Amino acid sequence: MSPRLSGPDCAAPPAARKPVAAPAPAPVPSPASASASASASAPVPSPGRTLAAALLGFFVITLDASVVTVALPSIGTDLHGGLAALQWVVDGYTLVFAAFMLSTGALSDRIGAGRAFGAGMAVFTAASAACGLAPGLGVLIGTRVVQGTAASVMLPASLALVRQAYPDAGSTPHPSGAASGRIGRARAIALWAAGGASAVALGPVAGGALTSAWSWRAIFFINLPVGLLAAVLLARTPRSPRRPAPLDVPGQLTAVLGLAALTFAVIEGGGLGLVAAAVAVAVLAGFFLIEARSAHPVVPLGLFRDRTVAVCVAVGAALSFAFYGMIFVLSLFFQQVRDQSPLGAGLMFLPMTALIPAVNIVSGRLSALSPPSAGGGTVGARLPMLAGQLLMVAGLLVLLPVTARTPAALLAVVMVPLGLGGALAVPPLTAALLDATPADRAGLAAGVLNAGRQIAGALSVAAFGALVADRDRFLSGMRVCLLLSAALLTVTAVATAAALRPGRPADS
């Protein structure tokens, strides 16, 4: 993973669905003071520039969650690393991105969205350069961790900037006179989300093309001009207000440590893996104790008392587990078993990923066709959620007979349901989750959903890598991965059918 990171996302990728509360509107100046200020000030900042900066940031952090996957065999050959190290190249980014995203929304509020986004972009760009120059896998993994940390700050801050530039109806108009209000902001957020969806679609192809044309290092150097352009655009963005927002530091630190130990246990195995697993159990148990007693937890455990919320988070995690894990396995399959080039491997994903943005839109419209039930607005979500999960199960099972001799065109076609299933299911499950959550906890719920999706993707890369580590038995290991993913999605599909039944009252 992905990234959020990123995979079969709705209008935005998994890591992209964390709303951030809109900053409080500035007081309206008197006509006289406004006129004097306008005549004496420099040209008024444009909301379009703010949107462009936020979109670029969201695009590049989503891209980095997937662009590296196709380049992994080349990285391993160049830096002399085994599969376990290559798994950390992916998970070093995705894991910290997911874990820190639990609280970086509050951090963005505390220091201001513009400051948070600018600092995150600066660190992300510098870390990208360090990734491209890495002399060994240890340095590459370390700089990927820094990249993921910066990305976790940028994501909520980028959406906060969009909301700041396009304030809600009834608030102060933007000084540029640009259209604001609900329609203007809705369109702006749709464009912002399209940046993430485009990155999901382009990731594997861009990774393969850059690796084939130049080197795997190019997938990181391409971030430098994007970062510089975003910084130029951000310089014209008005200062963001600071808002008080509590931080759960003990909860955040134990979440990161526990998830890192769990991932290490799955990847490494053996004696060290057992030690890491024991550490993970102890630390995660401490995390749940901290969250149960914290006044402002990063993961409010009370959210999961609602059956709809619990099922939507579980479905989102299952979809990401299957999608990101299989993207990782198939990337290795194309290059190590079928001997395809990085570009050829990237192009194999194009039919699947190119349709994701369009299916996101169709899925959202399907969800809106059915009116909400008396017990909550989940009836419209139920059908596309079920259809998406079952379509992905079918796509996984269709891949079981695949061998090294399967024609490339046929293989590219049978992979399509794998992407379409997630693209169909994620938008309605996100809408159902937000419908079932009180307005004052919507941001927290969305953050938990996206963090869960990214973490599931990271764990699938760790688990599936262990199953396909033996090249002589790669195909049998890949089939186990397919069956595990299909079984997990079957369970969550049954849970969806049971929890989102028409007429079921919403849980309190």
One domain for residues 306 and 214: yes
pLDDT beyond 60 at 507: no
pLDDT tens-digit profile of 395-432? 999 999 999 999 999 999 999 998 888 888 887 887 78
Residue 488: band (very low, low, confident or very high) from pLDDT cuts 50, 70, 90: very high
pLDDT beyond 50 at 33: no
Greater confidence, 44 or 298? Answer: 298
pLDDT beyond 90 at 132: yes
Query: pLDDT value at position 242?
Result: 67
pLDDT tens-digit profile of 442-458? 666 777 887 888 889 88
The residue out of 237, 260, 295 marking a domain boundary is 295
Q: What is the mean pLDDT of residues 75-84?
A: 89
Residue 476: band (very low, low, confident or very high) from pLDDT cuts 50, 70, 90: very high
Query: pLDDT value at position 11?
Result: 38
One domain for residues 119 and 255: no
pLDDT tens-digit profile of 210-247? 998 899 999 999 999 988 998 888 876 666 666 666 77
The residue out of 295, 324, 358 marking a domain boundary is 295
pLDDT tens-digit profile of 330-385? 999 999 899 999 999 989 998 888 888 777 777 666 655 554 443 344 556 788 88
In a domain, 27, yes or no: no
C-alpha torsion sign, points 422, 428, 430, 436? negative
Residue 176: band (very low, low, confident or very high) from pLDDT cuts 50, 70, 90: very low
Q: What is the mean pLDDT of residues 164-185?
A: 50
Q: What is the mean pLDDT of residues 187-207?
A: 78
pLDDT beyond 80 at 88: yes
In a domain, 25, yes or no: no
One domain for residues 275 and 342: no
In a domain, 34, yes or no: no
In a domain, 55, yes or no: yes
pLDDT tens-digit profile of 259-302? 888 888 888 777 788 898 899 999 999 989 988 888 778 787 87
One domain for residues 373 and 405: yes
In a domain, 196, yes or no: yes
CA atoms of 10 and 315, how far apart (whole Å): 13
In a domain, 24, yes or no: no
pLDDT beyond 70 at 26: no
Domain, as residue range, for 283: 248-295
One domain for residues 272 and 323: no
One domain for residues 322 and 345: yes
Q: Among 28-42, 130-144, 207-221, 409-423, name the one with the lowest average pLDDT.
A: 28-42
CB-hemisphere CA count at 13 Å for 482? 18
pLDDT beyond 90 at 84: no
Greater confidence, 506 or 331? Answer: 331
One domain for residues 252 and 180: no
Structure-token pair, residue 203: 């990731």
C-alpha distance from residue 45 to each of 73, 175, 178, 184, 187 (Å): 45, 8, 10, 17, 19
Greater confidence, 16 or 499? Answer: 499
CA atoms of 376 and 370, how far apart (whole Å): 12
Name the 3-class secondary structure at 107.
Answer: helix
Query: pLDDT value at position 4?
Result: 37
Q: Supply the mean pLDDT for the chain.
A: 79
Residue 490: band (very low, low, confident or very high) from pLDDT cuts 50, 70, 90: very high
Q: What is the CATH number of the domain that holds 112?
A: 1.20.1250.20
Q: How many CB atoms lie within 10 A of CB 300?
A: 18
One domain for residues 449 and 470: yes
pLDDT beyond 60 at 7: no
Cα Rg of the chain (Å, integer): 22
pLDDT beyond 70 at 391: yes
Q: Write b or e for each residue in 305-336: b if 16 or more Cβ atoms lie within 10 A of its Cβ, otherwise e.
A: ebbbbbbbbbbbbbbbbbbbbbbbbbbbbbbb
In a domain, 31, yes or no: no
pLDDT beyond 90 at 62: no
Residue 125: band (very low, low, confident or very high) from pLDDT cuts 50, 70, 90: very high
One domain for residues 469 and 379: yes
Task: Kindly state the percentage of the chain with pLDDT values over 70.
Answer: 77
The residue out of 280, 295, 310 marking a domain boundary is 295
* CB distance 99 to 256 below 8 Å: yes
**Amino acid at residue number 282:** A
One domain for residues 271 and 382: no
In a domain, 129, yes or no: yes
One domain for residues 189 and 53: yes
Q: Write b or e for each residue in 120-151: b if 16 or more Cβ atoms lie within 10 A of its Cβ, otherwise e.
A: bbebbbbbbebbbebeebeebbbbbbbbbbbb
One domain for residues 147 and 291: no
pLDDT beyond 80 at 500: no
Predicted TM-score (pTM) of this structure? 0.77
The domain tally of the chain equals 2
* CB distance 56 to 195 below 8 Å: yes
Q: What is the mean pLDDT of residues 170-189?
A: 49
